[in-house]
Amino acid sequence: MAHRLAIVGGGPAGMMAGLLFARAGVPVTVLEKHGDFLRDFRGDTVHPSTLELFRELGLRDRLLQRPHDEVSEIGARIAGRHVRIADFRRLPVDSQFIAMMPQWDFLDFVAGEAARYPDFALRMNAEATGLSHDAAGRVNGVVLADGEMIAADYVIAADGRRSVLRDAAALPLRNIGAPIDIFWFRLPKRATGDNRTMGVFEAGRLLVQIDRGDYWQCAYVFAKGEADAVRARGLAAFRAEIAGLVPDLGGAADELTDWDQVKLLSVSLDRLTRWHRPGLLAIGDAAHAMSPVGGVGINLAVQDAVAAANLMARTMAEGGDVDALAPKVQKRRMLPTRIVQRMQKLAHDRVIGAVLDPQARIDRPPMLVTLLDRHAVLRGIPARLIGLGVRREHIRSPDAGKRDRSR
C-alpha cells in the first residue's frame, strides 16, 4: 500500500514534488498557508533547466501558453555602458532562454497539472505550525494552526526560508551570511516587443529592473541594516536617486508617493547541514535559502523536488521504507547547493560589496565583463552556470498512468 505523503508549502519545490509523487501513484496532500499564489517577492525566472524538465514531462508547450517573456541574453549597464554577459542561445538544450513568468502563473499551472492525478490534493489556507510524532519519535503528520492534525506516512518540508517545520524538526542550520537587503517596488513602463530585464551598476548603487511588460519590478540593493538610513533621507531623495541611476525611466519614479509602496526584502543565505530526520525531508528554500543573485532559487528548488521523486517515489508508491533514501537526496543535492552558495557569497563580497562601498569608483566595466561583452563564445559559460547549473536533474520517477487527460 502506497505511503501517504504530506508536503508543506505550495512554492516551486512543494508543487513540483506534489506533481511528481502523485504522478508516481503516491497519495499526496500539499498544504499551502495562503489562500492564493499571489506574492510579490516570488521570483519570476524559469531557467532552461526547469523548462527542460517540463519538456521531459511533455508539459513545456502548455506551460509556455501562460503569460511570459523569453530572455535569450542577459546584460547590464555598468558605469554607463551596456554590456552583454550571458547568451542562452549557446546552451546544448532545446530550451535556450529564460522564461520570465510571474510565479503565481507558474504555480497555478503546476497545480492544475497535478490535479489531473486522482492521488493529488491541494489545501489552501492550511498553515502548518508543527509536527506530530509516533511513540518512537518518528514524524507521522503535520499540525495545522487550527489544531487539526494531518496524518502522513512521510512529510516533505518545503515551507520556505523561514521554515516552521525545519525548526520543529530541530534540523541544524548554517548561516553563511548575506551582506545585502533589497527595497522592492514597481514603476510603470511602456510595453515593448522585447524583454529588457537588466542590472544597473554605478559607484555606490545597484538597481535591478525586471521587465514585467507594462511595469518594472525594481530591486534597489543596499548594505544589510541600512534600510532605516535610506528611509531617513526621505522619499524625494530616493526618487531622485532612482531617476539619476536610470535616466531612461523618465518620470516613472515620481509614481512612488509613499514608503508603503516600497517593501523591504531581507536577503538570507543559509543551508541545513542535515535535511532529514525519520519521517521528514526538507527541500527547496527550507533546506537552503538562496540569494537573489542569478535568480536561481526557483530552479534549485525544482531540482530538489525532482531528485526527491527520482530517489523516493517508487519506493513510497510501493509502501517501502523511505527513511534510508532521504540522506541520498541530501547527498545528491548538497553539491550544487554548496557550489551555488559559494558563487553567490563571492558575488556578495567581491562584486556587490565593492559596488556598494561608499568610496567605490567605477569608471569602466571589470575586465572579465569586458571580455564577455567582446567574445560571444565566452558568454556561453555564465549562461551554462546560470541556465543549467550544476548536477542538473532529469525526470526518472515513475508514471503510474493515472492521469485524467480530459481535465
Q: Is the pLDDT score of 294 beyond 80?
A: no
> How much is the pLDDT for 355?
75
Distance CA(189)–CA(191), nearest Å, equals 6
Mean pLDDT of the chain: 90
Average of per-residue pLDDT across 160-188: 91
Residue with cell 531617513: 232
What CA–CA distance (Å, rounded) separates 96 from 86? 11
Q: Which residue has the higher pLDDT, 121 or 364?
A: 121
Helices in 43-135 by DSSP H: which ranges? 48-56, 60-63, 103-114
pLDDT tens, residue by residue, 262-271 = 999 888 899 9
pLDDT tier for residue 405 given thresholds of 50, 70 and 90: low
The continuous run of DSSP H or E covering 245 comes out as: helix 235-245
- Is pLDDT at 40 greater than 60 in this prediction? no
Residue 171 clears pLDDT 80, i.e. is over it? yes
Give the pLDDT confidence score for residue 189 in this predicted structure. 85
Residue 12 has pLDDT above 70, yes or no: yes
Q: How confident is the model at residue 202 (pLDDT cuts 50, 70, 90)?
A: confident
CATH architecture of 5-176+268-387: 3-Layer(bba) Sandwich (3.50)
Find, among 45, 78, 43, 38, the residue nearest to 267 by Cα: 43
CB 256 within 8 A of CB 187: yes
Residues of the chain with pLDDT > 90: what percent? 60
Residues 125-160: tens digit of each pLDDT = 999 999 999 999 999 999 999 999 999 999 999 999
Count of CA atoms in the C-beta half-sphere (13 A) of 14:
28
More confident residue, 162 or 364: 162
- Weakest-pLDDT range from 56-70, 81-95, 241-255, 268-282: 241-255
What's the pLDDT tens digit per position in 90-118?
Answer: 999 999 999 988 888 999 999 999 999 99
Helix, strand, coil abundance in the chain, percent, nearest 5: 35, 25, 40
Residue in 333, 336, 315, 337 with CA at minimum distance from that of residue 324: 315
Of 160, 47, 91, 64, nearest in space to 384 by CA: 91
pLDDT at residue number 316: 97
